[in-house]
A and B are shown apart, each in its own frame.
Chain A
Amino acid sequence: GQNIDQPTEMTATEGAIVQINCTYQTSGFNGLFWYQQHAGEAPTFLSYNVLDGLEEKGRFSSFLSRSKGYSYLLLKELQMKDSASYLCAVIQSTSGTYKYIFGTGTRLKVLA
């Protein structure tokens, strides 16, 4: 089985920095994604980590530690439009097949 946990909700102020954590326990780990999802819309890709370390992409960075089963998404210079749900997703590979399992999701509210 697999467990992928995230905080349910977070609140932050415009212009601030926020870190959203994701912990996972899964067999056949083959990478981790972060997606952003606005209400009623499809998720959009933010980042992908397969090796340990930090991946930076503009205002967004994502970190992975495979030994600890831990990742975080760091959002800098928060904007109101960043209010959304953030989903981490783990690729689970088994016997040549693979699937993407999503975490519980974190609803982020950015306040003025």
Chain B
Amino acid sequence: GAVVSQHPSWVICKSGTSVKIECRSLDFQATTMFWYRQFPKQSLMLMATSNEGSKATYEQGVEKDKFLINHASLTLSTLTVTSAHPEDSSFYICSVSPGASGYTGELFFGEGSRLTVL
């Protein structure tokens, strides 16, 4: 299976600061990456679809100015939580769909990043 590396695994920050989370596809080129958020005892909620070389597609209710996504290369997508607040504390996890858009095979997940905002 594909290898997806996500960093950092956990981060604690003060309210009002920004946090960047990186998602790297280590062994294949990923034109599409997905960012999910998961609150305790809940399922994965799709936040946005990250597209290499173009703007991300955000799901309804997700603030694009707060959750900045950059997919500058075929192996790296970043999620920046700007001006973080305690309610942003969550488990953020990226996933990768190999190959060109239109592929609908297995999703490969990063290890996830647990964000705690004090």
List chain A positions with a Cβ less than 8 A from chain B: 30-31, 33, 40-45, 48, 85, 87, 89, 91, 93, 96-105, 107
B34 partner, pick from A44, A85, A100, beta carbons under 8 A: A100
Distance in angstroms between the alpha carbons of A99 and B101 in the assembled complex: 10
What DSSP secondary structure best describes chain A's contact surface?
A: strand
Is A89 a contact partner of B104 (Cβ separation < 8 A)? no
Is B44 a contact partner of A102 (Cβ separation < 8 A)? yes
B36 partner, pick from A41, A44, A102, beta carbons under 8 A: A102
List chain B positions with a Cβ less than 8 A from chain A: 1, 34, 36, 41-46, 49, 57, 91, 93, 95, 97, 101-102, 104-107, 109-112, 114
Contacts of A98 in B (CB 8 A): 97, 101-102, 104
11 A-B residue pairs with CB within 8 Å: A30-B104, A31-B104, A40-B91, A40-B112, A45-B1, A45-B106, A48-B105, A85-B43, A96-B101, A97-B101, A98-B104
Is B107 a contact partner of A89 (Cβ separation < 8 A)? yes
Distance from A16 Cβ to chain B, minimum over Cβ atoms (Å) = 24
Distance from A74 Cβ to chain B, minimum over Cβ atoms (Å) = 20
Contacts of A40 in B (CB 8 A): 91, 112, 114
Contacts of A45 in B (CB 8 A): 1, 106-107
Is A102 a contact partner of B104 (Cβ separation < 8 A)? no
Distance in angstroms between the alpha carbons of A99 and B62 in the assembled complex: 15
Distance in angstroms between the alpha carbons of A30 and B85 in the assembled complex: 37
Distance in angstroms between the alpha carbons of A87 and B49 in the assembled complex: 19
Contacts of B49 in A (CB 8 A): 97, 99
Is A33 a contact partner of B112 (Cβ separation < 8 A)? no
Distance in angstroms between the alpha carbons of A42 and B106 in the assembled complex: 14
Distance in angstroms between the alpha carbons of A89 and B43 in the assembled complex: 10
